């Protein structure tokens, strides 16, 4: 499997080797042991770091590739441990799809452990999914760890804006095409078909949230700047005053006062965080705590992009009513 992957990369240099392999295959079939050949899987092996990239990769790859996911569904990507099974996935992969903006920086540890140089940043086999994205909440001035430890390069949660899906899937298709140029047309056709479905769903999402344009929303983690921008909602505060760091009592007191003044009705609570602080803020302000999946698959029934956004839009619209 690994050897097949390597061949995919250095195509011009290995065409002779491929020809030799084909000759070998012919010889095998002549001697009646062709069944051995079926062990070789011609599909690209793709690894995606995060659930949103995993489902977007599957949407464009269709059955041209096997796609593995490093983070589990519903796992907080800001809090990952490295396991041998993940290193094995990276070792076997032909293509790696990564989020960037430090959201999945742990993949570097796995790539190092996997000793697969094609997975190193800058390799044609690595897809930087954020390439070309207009990054929100980029910190300016002096940046250090005290400002929060998980969004040092700006908000990494960009797939929550459906308008970014065209760009992210273009990056993925370009990467898969570099590894398997013969699949270019099918990959792009898959992408176009998927984007049409997203565009149709987006019209539904925009009209469901249109009555709440300008509504202020609070969240536990700073997950939603792209989502708010896409649907005309307004960030009215974040419980974690700095991403990844539990809130100080002072911050909570200020937030509660400002939520009362602004009459904030909804607090989004990402399903993988403990809910005690959020429910206390909800109680003190009369706002409704809505538990949502920040990424696809974190809650049952949200395992593809459209189902995930359907879940978010309908939960938020119902809470704002
Ligand atoms: Zn985050």
CATH of 210-320, one of 3.40.50.1980, 3.20.20.10, 3.40.50.11890, 3.40.91.50: 3.40.50.1980
The ranges assigned to domains in the chain are: 2-28+39-136+145-198, 210-320
Q: Comparing 2-28+39-136+145-198 with 210-320, is the CATH topology the same?
A: yes
Cα 268 to ligand 1 centre (Å): 14
Cα 154 to ligand 1 centre (Å): 9
pLDDT per residue as tens digits for the range 145-189: 565 567 888 999 999 999 999 999 999 999 999 999 999 999 999
Task: State the average pLDDT over residues 180-203.
Answer: 98
pLDDT per residue as tens digits for the range 238-253: 999 888 888 999 999 9
Cα 43 to ligand 1 centre (Å): 33
Q: What strand order describes the sheet that includes 288-292?
A: 234-238, 216-219, 266-270, 288-292
Contacts by 66-73, CB closer than 8 A, 24 or more apart: 66/41, 68/93, 70/104, 70/107, 70/110, 71/104, 73/295, 73/296, 73/297, 73/298, 73/303
Task: State the average pLDDT over residues 182-199.
Answer: 98
Query: 2-28+39-136+145-198: what CATH class?
Result: alpha beta
Task: State the average pLDDT over residues 288-295.
Answer: 95
pLDDT per residue as tens digits for the range 49-103: 999 999 999 999 999 999 999 999 999 988 888 999 999 999 999 999 999 999 9
Selected residue with higher pLDDT from 179 and 19: 179
pLDDT per residue as tens digits for the range 107-119: 999 999 999 999 9
Cα 135 to ligand 1 centre (Å): 13
Q: Can you give the pLDDT at residue 144?
A: 63
Cα 238 to ligand 1 centre (Å): 12
* Tokens describing residue 289: 């705590």
DSSP string computed for 124-183: TTEEETTTT---SS---SS--GGG-SS-BTB---GGGSGGGHHHHHHHHHHHHHHH-GGG
Task: State the average pLDDT over residues 192-196.
Answer: 98
Rounded Cα distance, 83 and 321, in Å:
44
Task: State the average pLDDT over residues 278-286.
Answer: 98
Paired residues of 95 in beta bridges: 46
């Amino acid at each position: 499997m690994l050897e097949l992957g390597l061949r995919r990369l250095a195509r011009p240099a290995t065409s002779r080797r491929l020809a030799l392999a084909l000759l070998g295959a012919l010889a095998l079939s002549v001697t009646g042991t062709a069944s051995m050949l079926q062990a070789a899987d011609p599909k690209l092996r793709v690894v995606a770091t995060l659930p949103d990239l995993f489902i977007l990769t599957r949407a464009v790859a269709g059955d041209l590739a096997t796609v593995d996911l490093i983070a589990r569904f519903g796992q907080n990507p800001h809090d990952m441990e490295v396991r041998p099974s993940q290193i094995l996935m990276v070792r076997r992969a032909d293509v790696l799809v990564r989020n960037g903006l430090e959201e999945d920086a742990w993949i570097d540890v796995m790539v190092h452990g996997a000793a697969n140089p094609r997975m190193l940043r800058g390799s044609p086999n690595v897809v930087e999914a954020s390439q070309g994205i207009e990054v929100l909440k980029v910190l300016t001035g002096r940046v250090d760890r005290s400002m929060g430890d998980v969004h040092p390069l700006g908000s990494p949660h960009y797939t929550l804006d459906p308008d970014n899906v065209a760009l992210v899937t273009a990056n993925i298709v370009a990467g898969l095409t570099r590894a398997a140029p013969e699949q270019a047309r099918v990959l792009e056709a898959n992408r176009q078909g998927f984007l049409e479905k997203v565009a149709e769903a987006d019209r539904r999402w925009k009209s469901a949230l249109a009555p709440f344009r300008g509504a202020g929303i609070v969240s536990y983690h700073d997950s939603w700047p792209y989502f708010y921008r896409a649907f005309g909602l307004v960030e009215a505060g974040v419980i974690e005053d700095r991403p990844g760091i539990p809130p100080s009592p002072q911050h909570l007191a200020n937030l509660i006062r400002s939520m009362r003044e602004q009459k904030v009705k909804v607090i989004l609570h990402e399903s993988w965080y403990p809910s005690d602080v959020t429910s206390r803020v909800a109680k003190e302000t009369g706002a409704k705590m809505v538990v949502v999946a920040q990424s696809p698959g974190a809650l049952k029934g949200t395992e593809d992009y459209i189902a995930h956004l359907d879940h978010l839009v309908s939960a938020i619209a119902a809470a704002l009513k």
